[in-house]
Amino acid sequence: MKESNSKKGSNFKESIQNNLQKEIIVVGDVELGAGNLTDDFIADKAFSEFINSLTKRKHPITLVCNGDTFDFLKCPFKDSQDQLTYPRHITSEISINKLHLIAKAHERVFTAWKKFVKKKKNELYFIIGNHDHDIFFKEVQEEIKRLLENKKQVHFPGLRYNQHEVYIEHGHQYDFLNRINFRNIFLDYNQKKILNFPWASFGLMSSFMDLKEEHPFMERIVPRQLMLSLHGMVLRKVNLLSLGYFLKSLLYHPFRYYSDPTYNLPTKLFGEFYNRLKSRHWDVDEMIDIFRKKKKHRKDRIFVLGHVHEVSIIRKRKKVILRPGTWRDEYLLNSKNRTLTPIEKYYVQIKVEQDEELSYDVLSYPTKRSVFLFDDVRKHEYAYMHLAAQEEGYRPVYY
Ligand SMILES: [Mn+2]
């Protein structure tokens, strides 16, 4: 991907100003958390400056946050004794409690969004991803609007944005482990409405949060398999927890928690598991293929997907699939010299002309970060959590 030059961009903007109807900007997988050890977002300075730069542009801007904007899944809940816990039964009250922790930990971002929608020409969209299913609660949507002090220009279109032949979706519906049953978004539990998460998300919340707090940096490293191959202890813990959760889901939970619908046996999912094991079919890039097959007949021209944290432009005939990657803190591990290079932040830019003509690009938003050494980080994970936050100009709340 080519580096963008913001100066050049603004000249270009002025020269085509007359024809430009609006600009659609898409960011994905921002993953704002509570500012604790399970929160992987530290780019507050860069992200808020980026939003502020959009606010300053003269033409109308539609900013689409394409799912997993909020990391509700890994975000703790603060109980009445001020303890941080990870409950499994998520009511709208619990989601709003989490939202308040997120808004406090990332005030700069909320302030930037608030200023962005103060301009009447701008629109802000939040699409739902697998980390922010909590947005399905109308109460959560209302609370976000209240925090951003705007009712009219803050939108929650559900799973997708689809205007001007532009189709934007997070993409977890093409990932068999994380997709949701759209007909059963909520469950009834003790006369309360709670979120019905995919089996993998329930497992993450109830089994993996201790490990994440113990090794908060390791999960920021990709490729994950390579990281695990260099960190035997984390590999063993992940394997043990996964196997444990799998077996418990199968043999224990359905009986122990018979009346709790969040422990229902995911028979369909296990069927798919079994088929995949049999055919050794675990292609990582298959999401795009599934997406293509399902959306083949759509008339849209530009598709934007997130979820897998990849940056790419894939053209086929007159259509294009764009992926702007993630804004959370992530590192690429080099197997030869065992260095960790911070992954750059990207966004999708789509220009809609007066005659509905479209043009697009995937651009980087440059930040200054240094390269870490894997073996140092492995030894001093917490120290490097702080160092990374410091380099991004972020002050964590809880570590
Ligand atoms: Mn996702």
DSSP 157-172: EETEEEETTEEEE--G
Quote the ligand 1 centre to 394 CA distance (angstroms).
23
**Poorest-confidence range of 111-125, 223-237, 263-277, 346-360?**
263-277
Quote the ligand 1 centre to 41 CA distance (angstroms).
14
The pLDDT confidence band at residue 8, using thresholds 50, 70 and 90, is very low
Q: What angle do CA 184, 189, 190 make, to 5 degrees?
A: 155
At residue 11, the 3 state secondary structure works out as helix
The answer to whether residue 108 is domain-embedded is: yes
The answer to whether residue 98 is domain-embedded is: yes
Give the burial class of 296: count Cβ atoms within 10 A of its Cβ; 0-12 exposed, 13-18 middle, 19 or more buried: exposed
User: Would you state the pLDDT for residue 277?
Assistant: 63
Quote the ligand 1 centre to 170 CA distance (angstroms).
7
Tell me the per-residue pLDDT of 363-376, one tens digit each, with 9 for 90 and over. 999 999 999 999 99
The answer to whether residue 373 is domain-embedded is: yes
The answer to whether residue 305 is domain-embedded is: yes
Quote the ligand 1 centre to 306 CA distance (angstroms).
7
Report the candidate in 339, 328, 326, 337 with the shortest Cα–Cα distance to residue 370: 339
Predicted confidence (pLDDT) at residue 77 exceeds the cutoff of 50: yes
Burial code (b: 16+ CB inside 10 Å, e: under 16) for 343-368 equals bbbbbbbbbbeeeeebebebbbbebe
Mean per-residue pLDDT of the chain: 91
Quote the ligand 1 centre to 309 CA distance (angstroms).
8
User: Would you state the pLDDT for residue 282?
Assistant: 53
The pLDDT confidence band at residue 261, using thresholds 50, 70 and 90, is confident
Quote the ligand 1 centre to 129 CA distance (angstroms).
5
User: Would you state the pLDDT for residue 283?
Assistant: 53
The answer to whether residue 200 is domain-embedded is: no
The answer to whether residue 261 is domain-embedded is: no
Quote the ligand 1 centre to 1 CA distance (angstroms).
22
Who wins on pLDDT, 341 or 246? 341
User: Would you state the pLDDT for residue 32?
Assistant: 98
Quote the ligand 1 centre to 301 CA distance (angstroms).
23
Quote the ligand 1 centre to 284 CA distance (angstroms).
14
- The enclosing domain of 160 has a CATH number of 3.60.21.10
Tell me the per-residue pLDDT of 106-163, one tens digit each, with 9 for 90 and over. 999 999 999 999 999 999 999 999 999 999 999 999 999 999 999 999 999 999 999 9
Domain that holds residue 79: 6-195+284-391
Who wins on pLDDT, 398 or 33? 33
The pLDDT confidence band at residue 276, using thresholds 50, 70 and 90, is low
How many domains does the chain contain in total?
1
Report the candidate in 322, 292, 326 with the shortest Cα–Cα distance to residue 219: 326
Chain centroid to CA 60: how far?
25
Other beta carbons within 10 Å of 319 = 18
Single-letter code of the amino acid located at 71: D
pTM, 2 dp: 0.91
Length, in residues, of the chain: 399
- Return the structure tokens found at 41: 């977002």
Please report, to the nearest 10 degrees, the dihedral formed by the alpha carbons of residues 289, 295, 296, 298 taken in order: -150
User: Would you state the pLDDT for residue 281?
Assistant: 56
User: Would you state the pLDDT for residue 278?
Assistant: 63
Quote the ligand 1 centre to 305 CA distance (angstroms).
10
The answer to whether residue 313 is domain-embedded is: yes
User: Would you state the pLDDT for residue 4?
Assistant: 43
Quote the ligand 1 centre to 12 CA distance (angstroms).
33
Quote the ligand 1 centre to 299 CA distance (angstroms).
25
CA distance 144 to 95: 11
Quote the ligand 1 centre to 29 CA distance (angstroms).
7
- What average pLDDT does the segment 66-75 reach? 98
Predicted confidence (pLDDT) at residue 43 exceeds the cutoff of 60: yes
- β-partners of residue 163 are 166
The pLDDT confidence band at residue 285, using thresholds 50, 70 and 90, is low
The answer to whether residue 233 is domain-embedded is: no
Quote the ligand 1 centre to 97 CA distance (angstroms).
21
Residues with beta carbon < 5 A to ion ligand 1?
A: 68, 129-130, 172, 307
User: Would you state the pLDDT for residue 17?
Assistant: 55
Quote the ligand 1 centre to 218 CA distance (angstroms).
18
CA distance 163 to 300: 9
Quote the ligand 1 centre to 15 CA distance (angstroms).
37
H helices of the chain, in order, are 6-16, 44-56, 92-105, 107-118, 138-147, 199-207, 209-214, 224-229, 232-251, 253-256, 267-279, 286-294, 374-379, 381-391
Tell me the per-residue pLDDT of 213-248, one tens digit each, with 9 for 90 and over. 999 999 999 999 999 999 998 999 988 888 888 888
Quote the ligand 1 centre to 11 CA distance (angstroms).
35
